[in-house]
């Protein structure tokens, strides 16, 4: 039985991961959970899955959860508490589904402890890809992607040699505004952004999908996961979200991974790899009803997020960390209705242009770049 620790257990990915584990109790168990503020939901998870160790990164939530659970569960507190959680519990795999740069340090710590990673926190590789991949190599730790796109590429590459690969084709739904005229972008509301045509996700990633910054971050993540240069990683709009990504090989053939939009599939495969199990209630593709699959080229004029991400990725060093942190702060300002939709692009672009790139050879360097970018955006609000 594989013992799984879930960081971000009360978020969208965390909840779906727990449903996967509940459906396969002979294969998986939950040994620990971590969340931020939703301690009541964490308490329900602890009772349902008989969890003895947990962490709430919000101190007040940690105190409330500990009082609620008593001796039934040991609750650690704060960001440092997640590291203490990993000292207390040795998991076979850690699902990192925290939002944003908060996932970097816990992921690195889990790797140092020799735990395999199911990576749902793309920002970890965007900001600290060099550090994380080197640490995983040194420790012999497996990093299995949970993002549907990277999970698709991971599956398409099984049994293939690196020299056989020509390029990666990362698909994107295009989000809710792909066909909307650019002249209307400044009028886009928070509510419109949070209505995604094919996926049900958390607020931050749903806005990232609307701006296509999510896809830009995924390009950088793919660079680190699959060791390909940026000029061999393309983005393709596939609005039905049926083709999750593709790999083109040197003989010009293409392998694609298809499936209905359901995050339980890549989550479960990350847990079960290389085995496959049934996914309870998962819809199969109806080939009678699916009459066409559409493809479009991305539109960098409407979505400058993509060229910005390629620029930051190619420059390397601390610039991807700045791109990520600036985007996080801009998105949260948009969600608070402090800035317009289009201001997200301009704030991130300004931070990228203003940053003096440094080597990202230490966690301290990545943290400083992250801190600088957040302060820069706050000053511009």
- 301 annotated as belonging to a binding site for a ligand: no
Quickly tell me which residue has 């050879």 as its tokens.
361
What is the C-alpha to C-alpha distance for residues 78 and 62, in angstroms, rounded to an integer?
8
- 202 annotated as belonging to a binding site for a ligand: yes
- 281 annotated as belonging to a binding site for a ligand: no
Cα 218 off chain centre by:
8
- 327 annotated as belonging to a binding site for a ligand: no
Q: What percent of the chain is helix, strand and coil (3-state, nearest 5)?
A: 50, 15, 35
- 173 annotated as belonging to a binding site for a ligand: yes
- 3-class state of residue 261 by DSSP: coil
- 123 annotated as belonging to a binding site for a ligand: yes
- 272 annotated as belonging to a binding site for a ligand: no
> Is the CB of residue 92 less than 8 Å from the CB of residue 112?
no
Pairing of strands 165-172, 243-249: antiparallel
List of residues 6+ apart from 77 with CB closer than 8 A:
55, 56, 57, 59, 62, 63
Taking alpha carbons only, the member of 223, 227, 220, 115 closest to residue 160 is 227
What is the C-alpha to C-alpha distance for residues 236 and 348, in angstroms, rounded to an integer?
23
- 10 annotated as belonging to a binding site for a ligand: yes
- 380 annotated as belonging to a binding site for a ligand: no
> Is the CB of residue 105 less than 8 Å from the CB of residue 83?
yes
- 177 annotated as belonging to a binding site for a ligand: no
For 100, the token pair is 């944003």
- 149 annotated as belonging to a binding site for a ligand: yes
List of residues 6+ apart from 289 with CB closer than 8 A:
none
Quickly tell me which residue has 């796109």 as its tokens.
149
**Residues in binding site for 1-deoxy-D-xylulose 5-phosphate:** 122, 148-149, 173, 196, 209, 214-215, 218
**Residues in binding site for NADPH:** 10-13, 121, 123, 202
**Residues in binding site:** 10-13, 121-123, 147-149, 173, 196, 202, 209, 214-215, 218
**Residues in binding site for Mn(2+):** 147, 149, 218
């Amino acid at each position: 039985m594989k013992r799984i620790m879930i960081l971000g257990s009360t978020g969208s990915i965390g909840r779906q991961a727990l449903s996967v584990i509940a459906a396969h109790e002979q294969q998986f168990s939950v040994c620990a959970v971590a969340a931020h503020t939703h301690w009541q939901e964490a308490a329900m998870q602890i009772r349902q899955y008989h969890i003895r160790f947990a962490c709430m990164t919000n101190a007040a939530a940690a105190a409330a959860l500990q009082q609620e659970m008593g001796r039934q569960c040991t609750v650690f507190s704060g960001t440092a508490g997640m590291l203490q959680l990993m000292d207390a519990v040795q998991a076979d795999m850690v699902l990192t589904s925290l939002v944003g740069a908060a996932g970097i340090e816990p992921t690195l710590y889990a790797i140092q402890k020799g735990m395999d990673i199911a990576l749902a926190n793309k920002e970890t590789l965007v900001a600290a890809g060099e550090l994380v991949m080197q640490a995983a190599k040194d420790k012999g730790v497996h990093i299995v992607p949970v993002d549907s796109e990277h999970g698709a590429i991971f599956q398409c590459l099984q049994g293939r040699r690196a020299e056989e690969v020509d390029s990666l084709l990362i698909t994107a739904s295009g989000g809710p505004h792909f066909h909307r005229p650019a002249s209307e972008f400044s009028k886009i509301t928070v509510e419109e952004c949070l209505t995604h045509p094919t996926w049900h996700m958390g607020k931050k990633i749903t806005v990232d999908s609307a701006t296509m910054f999510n896809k830009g971050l995924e390009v950088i993540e793919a660079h680190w996961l699959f060791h390909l240069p940026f000029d061999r990683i393309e983005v393709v709009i596939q609005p039905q979200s049926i083709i999750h990504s593709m790999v083109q090989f040197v003989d010009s053939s293409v392998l694609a991974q298809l499936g209905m939009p359901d995050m339980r599939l890549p989550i479960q495969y990350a847990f079960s790899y290389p085995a496959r199990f049934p996914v309870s209630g998962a819809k199969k593709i109806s080939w009678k009803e699916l009459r066409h699959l559409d493809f479009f080229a991305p539109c960098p004029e409407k979505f400058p997020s993509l060229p910005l991400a390629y620029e930051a990725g190619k420059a390397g060093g601390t610039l991807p960390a700045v791109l990520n942190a600036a985007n996080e702060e801009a998105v949260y300002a948009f969600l608070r209705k402090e800035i317009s939709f289009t201001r997200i692009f301009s704030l991130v672009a300004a931070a990228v242009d203003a940053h003096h790139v440094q080597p990202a050879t230490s966690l301290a360097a990545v943290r400083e770049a992250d801190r600088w970018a957040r302060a820069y955006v706050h000053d511009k609000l």
